[in-house]
Amino acid sequence: MDTTPDGRHGKSEAWAREWVGRCALDPPGDVAAGSWGTWRVTFHVGRYGVDDGGTLVLSRRFASDWARPQTEDPAGDHYASVSTTGNASLRLRWDPKSNIRPWQQGLAVDVFDSYLAEGDTVTITLGDTSGGGRGTRAQTFCENRFRLRLFADCFGSGRFIEAGDTPTFAIVPGPPARVVLHGPTEQAADEASWLMVKLEDRWGNPCHDAEGTVRLQTEGGACGGLPREVEFKNENPAVVRLEGLRWESGALGRVRGALEGADAISGFSNRVRAMEKKHKWRPFWGDLHGQSEETVGTNTVDDYFAFARNKAGAQFSCHQGNDFQVTKETWDAIRDATQKYNEPGRFVTFLGVEWSGVTGMGGDRNVMYLNGDGPLHRTSHWQIDDWGDQETDRYPLDKLYEAFEGREDVMLVPHIGGRRASTDYYHPGLERVMEIYSSWGCFEWFVEEALERGWRIGITAGSDGHKGRPGASYPGAAIFGVYGGLACIYAETLNREGLWEAIRARRVYGTTGQKIHLSFSSGDHFMGEEFESDDPPAFRVRAAGERGIESVELKRASRVIASRRPKDGVAAGTDWFRVAWSGARIHQRNRQTHWHGGLSLDRGAIREARNWQVDNLEEGIQEAGDQHLLWRSRTTGDADGVEFRLEGGGAATLTFGTDVVRFEVGLDTVGPEPHVVEAGGVRQRAWVQRISPAPGPAEVECAFQVSDSDFEPGWNPYFVKITQEDGAMAWSSPIFVHRK
pLDDT for res 740: 85
- pLDDT tens profile 456-470: 999 999 999 999 999
Give the E-state strand segments of 527-674 in sequence order.
530-533, 538-544, 549-556, 559-564, 576-584, 593-594, 597-601, 605-612, 620-624, 628-632, 634-635, 639-647, 653-658, 662-666
- pLDDT tens profile 546-601: 999 999 999 999 999 999 999 888 888 899 999 999 999 999 999 999 999 999 99
- pLDDT tens profile 26-68: 999 999 999 999 999 999 999 999 999 999 999 999 999 999 9
The C-alpha atoms of residue 520 and residue 239 are separated, in whole angstroms, by 33
The C-alpha atoms of residue 150 and residue 138 are separated, in whole angstroms, by 18
pLDDT for res 335: 97
- pLDDT tens profile 244-298: 999 988 889 999 999 998 878 999 999 999 987 778 899 999 999 999 999 999 9
The C-alpha atoms of residue 646 and residue 691 are separated, in whole angstroms, by 12
DSSP codes of every residue in 285-305: EEB--B--TTTTSSS-HHHHH
**Which of 259-263, 352-356, 546-550, 685-689 has the lowest average pLDDT?**
259-263
* Residue 692 predicted with pLDDT over 70: yes
pLDDT for res 190: 80
pLDDT for res 6: 66
Q: How confident is the model at residue 5 (pLDDT cuts 50, 70, 90)?
A: low
The C-alpha atoms of residue 585 and residue 637 are separated, in whole angstroms, by 9
* Residue 3 predicted with pLDDT over 70: no
Fold for the domain defined by 13-172: Immunoglobulin-like (2.60.40)
CATH number belonging to domain 283-513: 3.20.20
- pLDDT tens profile 644-662: 999 998 899 999 999 999 9
CB 81 within 8 A of CB 71: yes
The mean pLDDT of 138-151, rounded to a whole number, is 97
CB 231 within 8 A of CB 197: no
* Residue 4 predicted with pLDDT over 80: no
**Nearest partner of 358 among 322, 403, 388, 329, judged by Cα:** 322
The C-alpha atoms of residue 735 and residue 457 are separated, in whole angstroms, by 10
CB 459 within 8 A of CB 449: no
Burial of residue 53, with CB atoms counted within 10 A of its CB: 0-12 exposed, 13-18 middle, 19 or more buried? middle
The mean pLDDT of 333-347, rounded to a whole number, is 97
CATH number belonging to domain 516-567+695-740: 2.60.40.10
The mean pLDDT of 513-521, rounded to a whole number, is 98
**Which of 123-137, 241-255, 425-439, 532-546 has the lowest average pLDDT?**
241-255
CB 224 within 8 A of CB 242: no
Listed as own residue / partner, the contacts of 11-15 with beta carbons closer than 8 Å and 24 or more positions apart are 11/161, 13/164, 13/165, 14/164
* Residue 628 predicted with pLDDT over 90: yes
Fold for the domain defined by 178-279: Immunoglobulin-like (2.60.40)
- pLDDT tens profile 528-549: 999 999 999 999 999 999 999 9
CB 427 within 8 A of CB 401: yes
